[in-house]
Amino acid sequence: MNGAQALLRTLVDGGVDVCFANPGTSEMHFVAALDAVPEMRAVLSLFEGTVTGAADGYARMADRPAATLLHLGPGMANGLANLHNARRAHTPIVNVIGDHARYHKGFDAPLESDIDALTGWLRGWTRTSKSPDELGADAVAAIAAARTAPGQVANLVLPADVSWADGGEPGTPADPPAPVPVDEDRIAEIAKVVRAGEPTVLLLGHGTTRDRGLVAASRIAAATGAKLFAETFPARIERGAGLPNVERLGYLAEQVQWQLTDVKHLVLVGAKAPVSFFAYPGKASELVPDGCQTHVLSVLGEDGTGALEHLADEVAAGVDPVRQEATRPALPSGPLTPQNWTEVIGALLPEGAIVSDEANTSGLMIPMTTAGAPRHDVLTLTGGAIGQGLPVALGAAVAAPDRPVVCLQADGSAMYTVSSLWTMAREGSDVTTVVLNNRAYAILRMELSRVGAEAAGPKANELLDLSGPDLDFVRMSEGMGVPATRATTAEELADQFGKALAEPGPHVIEAMVPPLL
């Protein structure tokens, strides 16, 4: 057994049985070993940003890591932006980066680079394997590191000679770690805060925006009058009819300031105190209002959901959560607008959908119009590095092949990782992508004036304009093997969205939605 075979065997034994891959020459023994370990499913992507984004989407839904396979430093570089998003999502990923044979590195061959600098940028955990007989143990350590709460990217650098040499020894993966409980004293302290009756917000962060956490938080809110918010960009939030509906903090500082008006106590549950996404001249970076005291129920890595349940038992015994009623918008009609397309989604979103949301400005109304739709999960752009929506949708579809995946995708961002569509076609992924084509970097038009650069002239505005030529997502999608249609009215969108959902496999609908501003 060579090193690569031992690695794959260990990964599979550790529950890591999907590998998103874009290999090169230095990874050929890993590729060859796939046939020796049939339990490992390999999913080819045409660009590493899709590899890493798909691994992120996969783990958000599967609750266990996928592996990746990247080609040397430049392959890792191409995957970094979506690994940044995964880092912000605290997603477990076993990120396998092939490297030159160790004896070859000193020759500064064209693809040689300092991979440690890239893994250092990403933080997380990194190990370079030194020997085929240690590679199994290295993989065990990588899986454990990835799964260490709250989850992280574990980088395993795999020199080609370690991969190809005989003497591979599979490792024995440990069980996933148990949740780290929150100290009872802290729960008791927070119980006092929420019972005091002063204006209080519970801010739900990583891991606490799923069924159990939402229900417990809603009970606390119902019993004490505390308000609930979810963090702005949750890795995964469960919502829809039958679940408590928790509003997310806004993207714009002004929204957050409005949401937190007069709040005296902010209780963080696996969340960070809110800060402005960007800096703006003369505006504050910190968004906790003056006179508001910040408390911590749980920090990242602790069992925030357990803490919420414990706190609910303490302060809300016998109190029921407030559950969202089933309600959908009526199907709208007429030319598409930034509002009515979201009503179409809300009207038709199927039971059990997974929504990968990178609709950006076009999606402002989506949380409202889908609140009472059947139960669904929403995966958001956690790190702000655009080009995540399509890959995350792909990964979610691999993780949950029995659930419909809906990808709401802004046009500009779509172009970063558009070849994800090809992998969706190849894998037969049941993803319905709605591309919101407003022919602009609309968010930047808004930001241009928000940063105080109102004097911008024609050259500046041209840099925010995606027309001339217009992007035609129907042709691009068809060019990658995904059937596609174009909708310019709400009726067309409803018709096309319904048909796409009814058919298996990937579909793209290009929705010609005018810019919000």
Q: Which of residues 193-232 bind its own copies (CB under 8 A)?
A: none
| Alpha helices in 319-433, H assignment, sequence order | 340-348, 366-369, 389-399, 411-414, 420-427
- Both structure tokens of 214: 């939402």
Closest distance of CB 141 from its own copies, Å: 23
326 binds its own copies (CB under 8 A): no
Return all residues near 175 (Cβ < 8 A) that are at least 6 apart.
none
CA–CA distance, 400 with 61 (Å, rounded to integer) = 7
Smaller CB separation from its own copies, 262 or 454: 454
Beta bridge partners of 180: 302
103 binds its own copies (CB under 8 A): yes
CA–CA distance, 56 with 151 (Å, rounded to integer) = 11
290 binds its own copies (CB under 8 A): no
Contact segment (CB under 8 A) with its own copies among 46-54, 150-158, 300-308, 362-370 equals 46-54
Contact segment (CB under 8 A) with its own copies among 104-112, 170-178, 291-299, 400-408 equals 104-112
- Both structure tokens of 343: 């009503």
Smaller CB separation from its own copies, 406 or 480: 480
- Give me the sheet containing 227-230, strands edge to edge: 227-230, 200-204, 265-269, 293-298
Binding-site size for its own copies (CB under 8 A) equals: 100
- Both structure tokens of 446: 């808004």
- Both structure tokens of 83: 């690994």
451 binds its own copies (CB under 8 A): yes
Closest distance of CB 479 from its own copies, Å: 3
Q: Is the dihedral of CA 397, 400, 401, 402 positive or negative?
A: negative
Binding letters toward its own copies, positions 231-270, x by CB under 8 A: --x-------------------------------------
447 binds its own copies (CB under 8 A): yes
Site for its own copies in 146-165 (CB under 8 A): 160-161, 164
Site for its own copies in 21-40 (CB under 8 A): 21, 23-26, 28-29, 31-32, 34-35, 38
Q: φ, ψ for residue 482 (rounded to 5)? A: -110, 120
CA–CA distance, 434 with 364 (Å, rounded to integer) = 15
Smaller CB separation from its own copies, 126 or 369: 126
Smaller CB separation from its own copies, 75 or 346: 75
341 binds its own copies (CB under 8 A): no
474 binds its own copies (CB under 8 A): yes
286 binds its own copies (CB under 8 A): yes
81 binds its own copies (CB under 8 A): yes
Closest distance of CB 325 from its own copies, Å: 33
291 binds its own copies (CB under 8 A): no
Smaller CB separation from its own copies, 23 or 338: 23
Smaller CB separation from its own copies, 277 or 350: 277
Radius of gyration over every alpha carbon of the chain, rounded to an integer in angstroms: 23
C-alpha separations of 97 from 74, 116, 254 in Å:
10, 11, 41
DSSP output for 296-326? EEE-TTB-HHHHHHHHHHHH-TTPPP-PPPP
Closest distance of CB 272 from its own copies, Å: 7
Q: Which of 1, 101, 296, 300 is in the footprint of its own copies by CB under 8 A?
A: 101
Residue type, 103: Y
448 binds its own copies (CB under 8 A): yes
Q: Which of 456, 495, 501, 514 is in the footprint of its own copies by CB under 8 A?
A: 456
472 binds its own copies (CB under 8 A): yes
Smaller CB separation from its own copies, 112 or 169: 112
Spell 265-289 as b/e; 16+ CB within 10 A means b. bbbbbbbeebebbeebeeeeeebbe
Contact segment (CB under 8 A) with its own copies among 345-353, 362-370, 379-387, 394-402 equals 379-387
78 binds its own copies (CB under 8 A): yes
Smaller CB separation from its own copies, 88 or 195: 88
Smaller CB separation from its own copies, 312 or 500: 500
Return all residues near 431 (Cβ < 8 A) that are at least 6 apart.
393, 394, 397, 405, 406, 407, 424, 506, 507
94 binds its own copies (CB under 8 A): no
Contact segment (CB under 8 A) with its own copies among 126-134, 261-269, 316-324, 446-454 equals 446-454
Count of CA atoms in the C-beta half-sphere (13 A) of 200: 23
Smaller CB separation from its own copies, 166 or 325: 166
Closest distance of CB 205 from its own copies, Å: 13
| Alpha helices in 165-201, H assignment, sequence order | 184-195
3-state secondary structure of 492: helix
Q: Which of 15, 179, 383, 498 is in the footprint of its own copies by CB under 8 A?
A: 383
Q: Which of 3, 73, 301, 372 is in the footprint of its own copies by CB under 8 A?
A: 73
Closest distance of CB 85 from its own copies, Å: 8
Spell 290-317 as b/e; 16+ CB within 10 A means b. eebeebbbbbbbbbbbbbbbbbbebbbe
Site for its own copies in 5-24 (CB under 8 A): 21, 23-24
Residue whose C-alpha is closest to residue 271's, from 291, 246, 252, 290: 246
